[in-house]
Amino acid sequence: MFAQTARYYDRIYAFKDYAAEAAKVVAIVEAELQTGGRRLLDVACGTGLHLEHLKAHFDAEGLDLSPDLLAIARERSPELTYHAADMQTFELETRYDVITCLFSSIGYMTTHDDLHRAIGRMADHLVPGGLLIIEPWITPDAWMPNSVHGMFIDDPELKIARINSSAVEGHVSIFDLHHLIGTPEKTEHVVEHHELGLYTVEEMTEAFIAAGLDVRHDPEGLTGRGLYVARKP
């Protein structure tokens, strides 16, 4: 999905304060973790910008499905271990004290079965007492179908215009991100197709409970989208 835009990913999302978000995660862990361990796995770690800040506090590892994003993460923090795997099916030898899945990546689970499988896989990789911290995608009532959105980057040697119209089919949000990317060498048009499941708080909570976790929901979370903090008994 990100093969053609991976090199621009960090610039496109430069508005995100990864340091502040990671600090909030650290604060939650310091207040609630009871295992005594420091092993952390960041699922859907992308280019590793959260890990860049989390690694100072944990024995951190990353996991992602995109080889292009993982390549950037490895360049950023080559001392860390990374796993190329699907969040629904991954199987690692290590069990972790903390597992994070941030920036709404869980939304790419577009069916209830997908959602339950992914949360179940993460739960299975926790040690008893470990924490699973997931930042959700937008809830169904907050999604705005039939709307148009744009963002623009105007750097000296990089120009990006990203436009998308939002749609919905059932409980799935759908949007094609049209990127017009200009560099001194060329200008290209790249389209990324995204589909993310729209789940209520109740549906998300149910998935954690089905995985055997005790869960609480923070409506604000790291960025205003909410946050689920779950503990393995």
Residue-wise pLDDT for 112-157, tens only, equals 999 999 999 999 999 999 999 999 999 999 999 999 999 999 999 9
Compute the average pLDDT of residues 180-204: 98
SS3 content of the chain, % helix, strand, coil (to 5): 30, 35, 35
Q: With the C-alpha atoms ordered 25, 26, 32, 35, is the resulting torsion angle positive or negative?
A: positive
- % the chain with pLDDT above 70: 100
32: phi then psi, degrees, rounded to nearest 5: -120, -20
Look up residue 121 and give its two tokens.
């896989």
Positions of CATH 2.20.130.10 in the chain: 147-197
Every domain of the chain with CATH number 3.40.50.150 lies at 6-139+199-231
Claim: this prediction has a pTM higher than 0.95: yes
pLDDT tens digit sequence for 51-107: 999 999 999 999 999 999 999 999 999 999 999 999 999 999 999 999 999 999 999
Q: Find all residues with CB under 8 Å of 175, minimum gap 6, and list them.
A: 164, 165, 166, 167, 194
Q: What is the pLDDT of residue 9?
A: 98
- Judged by phi (left if over 0) then psi (alpha if -120 to 50, else beta), residue 59 lies in beta
**Do residues 208 and 228 touch, judged by C-beta distance below 8 A?**
yes
Answer whether residue 3 shows pLDDT above 90.
no
Is residue 208 within 8 Å of residue 119, measured between CB atoms?
yes
Residue 2 has pLDDT above 90, yes or no: no
Fold category of 147-197 in CATH = S-adenosyl-L-methionine-dependent methyltransferases (2.20.130)
Give the model's pLDDT for residue 65: 98
What is the architecture, at CATH level 2, of domain 6-139+199-231? 3-Layer(aba) Sandwich (3.40)
Residue 139: which of 201, 217, 196 has the closest Cα?
201
Q: What is the pLDDT of residues 27-56, one digit of tens each?
A: 999 999 999 999 999 999 999 999 999 999
Query: Which secondary structure element, helix H or strand E, spans residue 215, and what is its range?
Result: strand 214-218
Instruction: Determine the Cα–Cα distance for residues 232 and 13; give it in Å rounded to an integer.
Output: 32
Nearest residue to 151 (alpha-carbon basis) of 175, 174, 167, 134: 175
- To which residue do tokens 């796995």 refer? 41
